[in-house]
């Protein structure tokens, strides 16, 4: 049994109580017997009860003080345990909320991705059809004209969403296993759904030095995906 698990009222305490009780009862007999020495003869005083009371009162008061101390100590320990349990519960609830927030953000990202529209295509087919129209021989004016199509703005919004999710995964208070699962989930989604169109558009952004803010977000995302 460890120190934390050791009971307050151990065998030493019970031995003390038994010993004090024996002393109290034996004193009744001892102090009512004829005295061996005259100096200790209390029989002529007529105050045997007062004598016994005067002798035993400090002992009883001491026992009472010890019991009060032990009860306070037990209450303090109980309060510490309750405080620890409460803090643990608060921490668990906080981690649960953070985990759910990231899942909600990821669901929003998937919904927005599925709602992409370009010509007669939607979702992944839409963004792939958009980037497939990009040509290596394009001039800056060609790309700028192509970037005015609404789906380009939708793609930029997806990048901002993904960057926000990665930021929350990196900085939020999460359980280690949940953080690992979330990283794996979002990275797999990027590699299967967003990697091809993102790399194609990034190539044009670098080539024509366009949308530096978006390019920074893309680079941050790619750096996040490289981490284990």
Higher pLDDT, 24 or 9: 24
pLDDT score at 131: 92
Provide the pLDDT confidence category of residue 2 given band limits of 50, 70 and 90: very low
Q: How many CB atoms lie within 10 A of CB 197?
A: 22
The average pLDDT across 52-65 equals 72
Residue 167, both tokens: 């930021």
pLDDT tens figures, 40-53 = 555 555 555 665 66
3-state DSSP call for residue 120? coil
Cα 23 to chain centroid, rounded:
55
Whole-number average pLDDT of the chain:
84
Percent pLDDT > 70 in the chain is 80
Strands (E) across the chain are located at: 117-118, 121-122
CA distance 153 to 131: 13
pLDDT tens figures, 14-28 = 777 777 677 766 766
pLDDT score at 100: 96
Q: Are 102 and 169 in contact (CB under 8 A)?
A: yes
Q: Is the pLDDT score of 224 beyond 90? A: yes
pLDDT score at 149: 93
- 38: Cβ–Cβ under 8 A, 6 or more apart, which residues? none
CA distance 151 to 115: 10
The average pLDDT across 133-159 equals 91
Cα-Cα-Cα-Cα torsion 119, 137, 154, 173, nearest 10 degrees, comes to 140
Provide the pLDDT confidence category of residue 1 given band limits of 50, 70 and 90: very low
CA distance 142 to 18: 99
pLDDT score at 64: 80
CA distance 220 to 72: 56
Q: Which residues of 8-31 are buried (b: 16+ CB within 10 A; e: fewer)?
A: eeeeeeeeeeeebeeeeeeeeeeb
- 102: Cβ–Cβ under 8 A, 6 or more apart, which residues? 165, 168, 169, 172, 174, 182
Q: Is the pLDDT score of 180 beyond 80? A: yes
The average pLDDT across 87-103 equals 94
The average pLDDT across 27-47 equals 57
> What is the DSSP pairing of strand 121-122 with strand 117-118?
antiparallel
- The CA distances from residue 41 to 12, 37, 220, in Å, are 35, 7, 97
């Amino acid at each position: 049994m460890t120190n934390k698990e050791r009971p307050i009222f151990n065998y030493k305490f019970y031995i003390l109580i038994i010993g004090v009780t024996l002393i109290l009862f034996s004193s009744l007999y001892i102090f009512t017997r004829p005295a061996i020495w005259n100096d200790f003869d209390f029989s002529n005083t007529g105050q045997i009860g007062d004598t016994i009371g005067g002798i035993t009162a400090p002992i009883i008061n001491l026992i009472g003080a010890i019991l009060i101390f032990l009860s306070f100590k037990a209450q303090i320990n109980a309060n510490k345990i309750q405080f620890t349990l409460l803090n643990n519960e608060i921490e668990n609830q906080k981690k649960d909320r953070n985990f759910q927030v990231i899942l909600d953000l990821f669901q929003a990202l998937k919904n927005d991705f599925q709602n992409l529209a370009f010509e007669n295509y939607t979702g992944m087919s839409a963004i792939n059809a958009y980037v497939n129209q990009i040509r290596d021989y394009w001039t800056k004016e060609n790309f700028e004209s192509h970037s005015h199509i609404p789906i380009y703005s939708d793609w930029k919004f997806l990048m901002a969403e993904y960057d926000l999710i990665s930021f929350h995964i990196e900085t939020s208070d999460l359980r280690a296993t949940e953080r690992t699962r979330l990283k794996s989930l979002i990275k797999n989604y990027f590699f299967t759904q967003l990697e091809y169109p993102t790399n194609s558009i990034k190539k044009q952004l670098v080539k024509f030095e366009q949308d530096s803010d978006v390019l920074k977000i893309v680079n941050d995302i790619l750096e996040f995906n490289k981490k284990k």
